[in-house]
Chain A
């Protein structure tokens, strides 16, 4: 059991750029969720993938998109970055839709 690994740990991008954040889940974890956590706040649900299909989405615009791969890895893509996108992005995975294991997050700074 290797846990959930997110990369990179920190990232600085310029407004208007695009970014891809990566998450590697444990074998057998068919469900992955992504959250955005602004400084000093609780996380906000972005979306969830189950067996490579999006099956739930929070109140985030379409420029936030994702992918899940057969090898239990996933990506969060954000286009046209805005200053307010600066946050900690958390990935969480589960084998059974509950009992999520979280990664340590990617700290994204948009300047």
Chain B
């Protein structure tokens, strides 16, 4: 069974600084997908970044980038130039079949002005 672990229940960062959220996963699948989602108080899950495991290159989306270490089964999210609007719960998720996302417990990100 696939599992996703987020070991940081809460992280805080000063506005404009950089923060890294950790995620590890366990899977026996050879091909799978990894995601970071953001859930603000509005409750809607918003896709931040997506990584296909067969791709060596780390995915980036503007200020958001990942450090994907396939052998270590690690998938961390780096947020550069943190903004107040980045404050939210961040969830790491994985799926071997492009559906049935397996989710971590989430990390609450606090941005200090």
Residues of A within 8 A of B (CB): 31, 33, 35, 40-45, 48, 56, 58, 88, 90, 92, 97-100, 102-105, 107
B33 interface contact, C-beta 8 A: yes
Q: Are B47 and A42 within 8 A (Cβ)?
A: no
Q: Are A98 and B47 within 8 A (Cβ)?
A: no
Query: Which residues of the other chain, B, contact A44 by a CB distance below 8 angstroms?
Result: 103
In whole angstroms, how far apart are the Cα atoms of A48 and B106 in the complex? 22
Inter-chain CB contacts under 8 Å: number: 54
Task: State the Cβ distance, B14 to closest chain A Cβ, in Å.
Answer: 26
B30 interface contact, C-beta 8 A: no
Task: State the Cβ distance, B95 to closest chain A Cβ, in Å.
Answer: 8
Q: Are B47 and A99 within 8 A (Cβ)?
A: yes
Q: Are B99 and A43 within 8 A (Cβ)?
A: no
> A58 is contacted by which of B33, B42, B98, B100 (Cβ under 8 Å)?
B100
> B103 is contacted by which of A43, A97, A99, A103 (Cβ under 8 Å)?
A43
Q: Are B105 and A33 within 8 A (Cβ)?
A: no
Task: State the Cβ distance, A45 to closest chain B Cβ, in Å.
Answer: 5
Taking A31-B99, A98-B98, A100-B47 as contacts, is the C-beta distance between A41 and B33 under 8 angstroms?
no
B59 interface contact, C-beta 8 A: no
Which residues in window 39-65 of B have CB below 8 A to A?
Answer: 42-47, 50
Query: Which residues of the other chain, A, contact B104 by a CB distance below 8 angstroms?
Result: 42
> A102 is contacted by which of B33, B46, B98 (Cβ under 8 Å)?
B46
Task: State the Cβ distance, B92 to closest chain A Cβ, in Å.
Answer: 8
B102 interface contact, C-beta 8 A: yes
Q: Are B100 and A33 within 8 A (Cβ)?
A: yes
Query: Which residues of the other chain, B, contact A92 by a CB distance below 8 angstroms?
Result: 45
Return the 3 tightest CB-CB contacts between A and B, nearest first: A42-B103, A102-B45, A98-B98
